[in-house]
Structure 1
Amino acid sequence: MKRKIIGILVLAALALSAGIYYHYASQPKNIFDELYQEMKANYLGENIFYQIKDTKIKNYKIYDKDMNETDKFKPSIEYPDYYLNDHNPNLRITFNLYQKKGLNIYFEKHIDSKVTMIFNVRYMTIKKYLNTKISLINSNNYIDNESEVKSYLKKYGITTKDLDGYYDKIVNQKVLKDWCSIYDSKFSPTDYGDVTVKTQWENW
């Protein structure tokens, strides 16, 4: 009888420990986890992202390799261009809820009438890793070769400090500031939390 009671107590303790561990593991470790978890939990219903003025929340259907429709969606938050300015259009956030779990923040920066920089800020939930890369479009030609990108930036006098400023203006001062205005975040645009942050240009 005592062994049975002890066995039950051990199982109960293990279950409690597992529950505590799961609760801790599922808690957001950084501000990007917060965005991801909120969208994942509520993308098919009313979520708090609708509180961001004039943004459009869309769920794009996912198709398999044979182009058959699945029951999966890729949520997206799209900002109107007039929220920014003529030099920073096409700001959007897309959420990857399945294999490549995470989110991407995309925005553009016009250098001149022909050349546009594209920023891709990618967050991976499992690795807690945020990486920003840039590419260019020049007269409809897509350029992502790093040496070519650097050459263009040098030609137009764009420094790594400028790139940091473009990132800060959109990611911190717009996207994350908006998030903190609608959600009681544990983090802030100046304190991301537990995340490794890298940019393509940090060692240029």
Structure 2
Amino acid sequence: MKKLLILLASLISILIAGNIYNRIKIQNIFDEIYYTGAGATNEPFEKPRSVIENIPNIESQVYYLSSISENGEKITEERYQEDKLPNNMIGLSTTFYSKKKELTINVSYSITSTVNLSMDNTYSVSKKTLSQTLSFFDTERAGEILVKDKNDVQTYSATYNISEKQLTEWNAQGVNQLFLEDWVSVYPSNYSPENLGNVKIKTQW
């Protein structure tokens, strides 16, 4: 009986320690997404699979970043099928960078027949920070990036009559209203698109 009580006490201690560790490690909805997706292989006949794959209209792709070292970083990308996206939105994807411990949610829009707008939401696991940046691309010049700094952002936004409010709304449409809504529908999240948890957001536009 004494040994049984010791065993039960040990199991309870392990469970309590695991719960405390998870609370420290996972402090917001982006931590949930990163730790669930970064460890997934997304390759045929391999486990575990990414929870994100349970979202309808999602396609997975695994590729490698070139590196001077022998082993380049394996990158996992989950992308929505373009024909299932709202009007003017031409891309919505999540990309996991395991070595940098980062997650990027990208939302792209068609501004004109030759210019696209790309909005990156890059989450740093270590800093608990979501950095929001954007670029304009010229599709007629091999996708040349037109934005180099914040002044360029303001110039091109004014050129195409896009307000800061519109940029925020477009980004939220892809990240909060679409992807995060889908995320909480396939994962028992402790957070929501309205309650992101402990995360600092830095918007650079």
Structure 1 and Structure 2 fold alike (TM over 0.5):
yes
Larger radius of gyration: 1
SS in structure 2 at match of 1:157: coil
Whether the 8 Å contact between 2:124 and 2:130 is mirrored in structure 1 is yes
Q: CA deviation at 1:71?
A: 7.6
What are the superposed Cα offsets for residues 100-146 of structure 1, whole Å, 9 maximum, x if unpaired?
11101112111111221111110000000001101111332311222
Q: What are structure 1's unaligned runs of at least 5 residues?
A: 1-11
Q: CA deviation at 1:90?
A: 2.2
RMSD of Structure 2 on Structure 1 (CA): 2.3
Matched residue, 1:116: 116
Matched residue, 1:8: none
Matched residue, 1:80: 81
SS in structure 2 at match of 1:117: strand
State the TM-score, normalizing by the size of structure 1.
0.81
Partner amino acid, structure 1, of 2:203? T
CA distance in 1, matches of 2:156, 2:72: 43
Partner amino acid, structure 1, of 2:24? A
Q: Verify: 1:163 aligned to 2:164, yes or no.
A: no
What are the superposed Cα offsets for residues 62-106 of structure 1, whole Å, 9 maximum, x if unpaired?
44216x4x38521110111011145111221100111x1110111
Partner amino acid, structure 1, of 2:202? K
Q: CA deviation at 1:148?
A: 2.1
Q: What are structure 2's unaligned runs of at least 5 residues?
A: 1-9
CA distance in 1, matches of 2:137, 2:109: 10
CA distance in 2, matches of 1:87, 1:180: 25
Which residues of 2 match residues 32-181 of structure 1 at below 5 A?
32-44=30-42, 45=47, 46-65=49-68, 68=70, 70=71, 72-85=73-86, 87-98=88-99, 100-138=100-138, 139-140=140-141, 141-145=144-148, 146-181=150-185
Matched residue, 1:189: 193
Q: 1:71 to 1:117 in 2, by over 3 A?
A: closer
CA distance in 2, matches of 1:77, 1:86: 20
State the TM-score, normalizing by the size of structure 2.
0.80
CA distance in 2, matches of 1:72, 1:152: 34
CA distance in 2, matches of 1:186, 1:25: 14
Q: What percent of counterpart residues are identical? A: 27
Report the number of matched residues. Answer: 183
